[in-house]
A and B are shown apart, each in its own frame.
Chain A
Amino acid sequence: MVKELLSVHHLTFAYSGDCVLQGVDFTLHRGTFLGIVGPNGSGKTTLLHLLARLLPLQEGIICFEGKEIWRYSHTEWAKKVAIVFQEIPTRVSLPCQEVIAMGRFPYLRRFAREGEEDERAVQWAMEMTETWQFAERDFGELSGGEKQRVMIARALAQKPTLLLLDEPTSHLDVLHQLEVMQILRALQREGITIIGIFHDPNVVAQWCQYALFLKGGRVLRFGTTEEVMRKEYLAELLEVEFIEHTHPLSLRPFFTPLELRKRPSRGITVHLICGGGRGIPFVRKFLEAGFSLSVGIVNRFDSDEELAIQLRLPVVSEKPFSPFSEESLHHALHLARKAQWVFIVPTYWGRGNLLNLELARLLLLEGKRVFLLREGFDPRFDYTGGEARKKLAELAHHGAQVLERVEELWEK
């Protein structure tokens, strides 16, 4: 047995002159689950159709089990490779088992009746997909998720070695999407190789072993999901910034796209003095208002720090749960000098972060404009026995402007 199930060499394809795929190369082993991700128009579906022999090859070679795919006969091929499409057939009112039994088409000769083996295959397909419960029901009366499961069962009845899926979950709600993905994982355990297009990168990150990033008809990344599913690669692929989290149960990464309403840049950088997660709403407000930001000093793993890192903001951080050091102050001073303004977020003050007010004082003396909010003087924020408030008042006295609302800055 050849170890590689599928190998694609230099696949190039064009629709009437428009190049859709350019030099796609990859190989896939038996029993793996590959997810293909890419922006719209990246050639994902074309690639899948080429693999399924729904499109003729133009350039390049695809080998399946060591043999060029077009050298299989129509029925031989249908016994090896099955495909499930995104669109669910409409206007079909046959009992589901008949729909599933259509998967036996390549095994049946003209006029031949279904035999025991065919029945076994259909039964197995129904068990794998848990569709036996609506075997007798009319396909047209099922819900979208149920229909897609029947379509997967139909593909399974072909007893394929390779199962291809073109965005099989895109029309489904979360529950049905999960059901389908669980079925696919079970199939993979049965030894079936699966290639699926998914437009949600999290599905790939969660469920697939391998990922292939396709952009502009070229393979951007190909490797195990651990290697490939990273937010910087995703940003490169989909041109959207992502925040990466860890799934609390599967411990696999998951990604949240950053939603930012881009404003024309004001050309002003603001240095944000924050901490304790109090900075998060201000980060959003400043960015949306078109300011650039730098942050510091914050402790590592403070949620303000994490956000700054995700957003790739320049940040000066101190070790977790440690008081700020002179060294950090030095770095922060260095960073903040590049900014035009300094904004002190109303945050909690303790012995550990008082140095931030020292930072502000130094910057004020250097002539930077420093702003703080009236609510920052609230004694509930002060865990230094009044020292922090004294320092804040001092700042205000030396020319730091006290604002009622941060939005007052937008006018300046």
Chain B
Amino acid sequence: MLFPMTSSILRTAFERVASHISNLDDVKSLVDELENMDSLDTIITELETRMEEAEVTFRTDIRILINECRHIRK
């Protein structure tokens, strides 16, 4: 299997976890916004930063997304 590109890792992760996400629109725009970043590590760091200020359910959404990204990368 080919290794997915950074941007598509984020997108694939999002598609996989979408059914478990509470704030779908917010997460979707976040994905749109971060999709073009250079590396997955940068994306994850950015997601973690956003998590700190986020409302509690949104924070869990981001957490789920980060987890899935890490899972795909592994």
> Do A and B come from the same complex?
no
B contact set with A: CB distance below 8 Å = none
